[in-house]
Amino acid sequence: MNADYELIDHTADLGIRFVSPTLEGLFEVAAATLSDLLFGESTIALDQTEQVSVSAENIEDLLVELLRELLYLWGVGKLAFSEAHIKISGETSLVAEVRGETFDPQRHAVENEIKAVTYHQLEVKKVGDAWHAQVIFDI
């Protein structure tokens, strides 16, 4: 997937910063980044599609809720995902079409054991013509 993101040096956690020209693109980069952090360079087929609907009070919560749902798909559903198409409605709800395949330990590496998405130093903001975000994961 190879999302465009920057790792943040953060003690005992894993932080990322990322940018996109659109809000939906920002959320897609967030999903791609999570995939990269979880599965590294593993090749993931697009055999399965899961639909995720998320609502929240604000844009920051919406990002956290999406990432939590993706971690749930991975942790409980064992979906190795590599693609997400996002449609956002009014900055408080979204629908994501997540594509991937059932996790296979013979073919998929687990690069980072991510336990949770945190609110620590969470940031989503528009700067000029681009959307910027920062997220810290508990590992």
CATH number for the domain that contains residue 50: 3.55.10.10
Domain residues for 122? 5-138
- Whole-Å CA distances, 92 to 61, 66, 76: 8, 11, 25
Domains: count for the chain: 1
Structure tokens at 57: 């009070």
Q: What is the pLDDT of residue 9?
A: 66
5, pLDDT greater than 90? no
- Angle at alpha carbon of residue 16, lines to 75 and 78, rounded to 5°: 15
Give percent above pLDDT 90 in the chain. 88
Q: What is the mean pLDDT of residues 6-29?
A: 87
Q: What is the mean pLDDT of residues 68-95?
A: 96
